[in-house]
């Protein structure tokens, strides 16, 4: 099976899997923090051997079920025949340390993240992620554990909170006007659907990109995406064994900047300011100087890949 057999096309498929530097001789303990529809997971599991462990997380139960099915269909027999253990867990990757500890795992050899939304999220109107379809304003990855929906935030956050959300997470220049319009409109009637919100943004901003940016900002806030990335990446750095790799695919500049900044904390040695000597060595090293980008060919075949960047680091 190749990467196109999944109905959706996993981004940077070969680059992502190769970046994990899976061993053919030593034991691999690999964590895929974002199973999604299981495309990358299948590619990873195919490279494992006897005694290896694969752990996958997804916060979205529908995607978790799809990925479990795909994994079972594509590599279930292979894994059983070769003594490879697979755990697919409904969890937030920010809980990576606790969830692995529940499995008796305290070090890992590779961890990967393919951040953000899956194609399944955008294609399902009921989830409220896409402004292309009319749906309830939901946008939660995890619908099982409660949590505020996009509708809750749009209808109850105060104006300042709305401005900050749109400005910081959406990088929306007209955040103030859009927030004002939201507050004015909801006084008359709650804003309940993606269509109502899209119309309001279009009528306020006259810039179609404002809708894209605002939806991104709301989604990031609903799922506390940046908080989860920060907690998880820091725990991953501690969990990695020497030589272990972490690979992260991001899809927009804010996400990429955050990942870059978190890794940067571990890429620098501590230095004595007087002698200029390193006192504590750096914890991580970069595997590639610059992030890897999709080829022209991949961008042509898969529009979603256009904004993807793959950052890879290795524990020293």
Ligand X SMILES: C[S@@+](CC[C@H](N)C(=O)[O-])C[C@H]1O[C@@H](n2cnc3c(N)ncnc32)[C@H](O)[C@@H]1O
Q: Please report, as ranges, the residues that interact with ligand X according to CB under 6 A.
A: 10, 33-34, 36-40, 57-60, 63, 92-94, 114, 116, 118, 141, 228
CB nearer to ligand X: give 39 or 135: 39
Distance, first Cα to last Cα, the chain: 35
CB nearer to ligand X: give 182 or 310: 310
**Least distance in Å: CB of 277 to ligand X?**
39
**Least distance in Å: CB of 172 to ligand X?**
22
CB nearer to ligand X: give 74 or 204: 74
CB nearer to ligand X: give 34 or 236: 34
Task: Output the CA–CA distances (angstroms, integers) from residue 151 to 60, 157, 221, in the order listed.
Answer: 19, 10, 12
**How many C-alpha atoms does 75 have within 13 Å on its Cβ side?**
24
**Least distance in Å: CB of 38 to ligand X?**
6
CB nearer to ligand X: give 109 or 228: 228
CB nearer to ligand X: give 39 or 294: 39
CB nearer to ligand X: give 9 or 283: 9
Q: What angle do CA 99, 100, 103 make, to 5 degrees?
A: 100
* Position of minimal CB gap to ligand X: 36
Do the Cβ atoms of 107 and 237 come closer than 8 Å? no
Q: What is the DSSP letter of 295?
A: -
Phi, psi of 194 (to 5 degrees): -60, -35
**Least distance in Å: CB of 226 to ligand X?**
10
Residue 126, classified by CB atoms within 10 Å of its CB into exposed (0-12), middle (13-18) or buried (19+), is exposed
**Least distance in Å: CB of 206 to ligand X?**
31
**Least distance in Å: CB of 90 to ligand X?**
9
Give the helix/strand (H/E) hosting 54.
strand 53-58
Do the Cβ atoms of 47 and 17 come closer than 8 Å? yes
Do the Cβ atoms of 91 and 99 come closer than 8 Å? yes
Q: What is the dihedral sign for C-alpha 73, 10, 303, 128? A: positive
**Least distance in Å: CB of 8 to ligand X?**
6
Give the rounded distance of the alpha carbon of 126 from its chain centre.
Answer: 21
**Least distance in Å: CB of 235 to ligand X?**
12
Task: Output the CA–CA distances (angstroms, integers) from residue 156 to 124, 246, 248, 267, in the order listed.
Answer: 25, 38, 34, 41
**Least distance in Å: CB of 59 to ligand X?**
4
Q: What ranges make up the beta strands (E) of 72-126?
A: 85-90, 108-114
CB nearer to ligand X: give 228 or 302: 228
Q: What angle do CA 265, 266, 268 make, to 5 degrees?
A: 85
CB nearer to ligand X: give 45 or 191: 45
């Amino acid at each position: 099976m190749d990467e196109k057999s999944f109905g959706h096309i996993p981004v940077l498929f070969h680059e992502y899997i190769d970046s994990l530097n899976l061993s053919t001789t030593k034991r691999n303990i690999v964590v895929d923090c974002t199973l999604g529809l299981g495309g990358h997971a299948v590619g990873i599991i195919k490279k494992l051997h006897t005694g290896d462990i694969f752990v996958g997380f997804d916060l979205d139960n529908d995607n978790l079920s799809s990925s479990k099915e795909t994994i079972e269909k594509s590599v279930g027999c292979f894994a059983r025949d070769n003594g490879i253990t697979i755990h697919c867990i409904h969890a937030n990757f920010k809980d990576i340390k606790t969830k692995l500890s529940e499995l008796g795992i305290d070090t890992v050899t590779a961890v990967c993240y393919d951040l953000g939304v899956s194609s399944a999220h955008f294609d399902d109107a009921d989830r409220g992620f896409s402004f292309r379809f009319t749906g309830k304003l939901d946008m939660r990855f995890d619908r099982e554990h409660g949590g505020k929906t996009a509708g809750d935030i749009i209808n109850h956050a105060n104006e300042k909170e709305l401005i900050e959300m749109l400005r910081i997470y959406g990088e929306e220049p007209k955040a103030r006007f859009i927030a004002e319009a939201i507050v004015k409109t909801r006084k008359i009637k709650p804003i309940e659907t993606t269509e109502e919100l899209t119309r309001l943004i279009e009528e306020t901003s006259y810039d179609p990109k404002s809708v894209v940016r605002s939806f991104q900002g709301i989604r990031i806030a609903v799922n506390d995406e940046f908080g989860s990335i920060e907690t998880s990446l820091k725990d991953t750095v501690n969990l990695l064994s020497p030589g272990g790799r972490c690979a992260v695919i991001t899809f927009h500049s804010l996400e990429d900047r955050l990942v870059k900044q978190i890794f940067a904390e571990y890429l620098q040695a501590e230095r004595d300011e007087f002698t200029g000597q390193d006192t504590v060595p750096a914890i991580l090293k970069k595997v590639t100087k610059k992030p890897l980008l999709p080829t022209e060919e991949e961008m042509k075949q898969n529009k979603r890949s256009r904004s993807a960047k793959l950052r890879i680091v290795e524990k020293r």
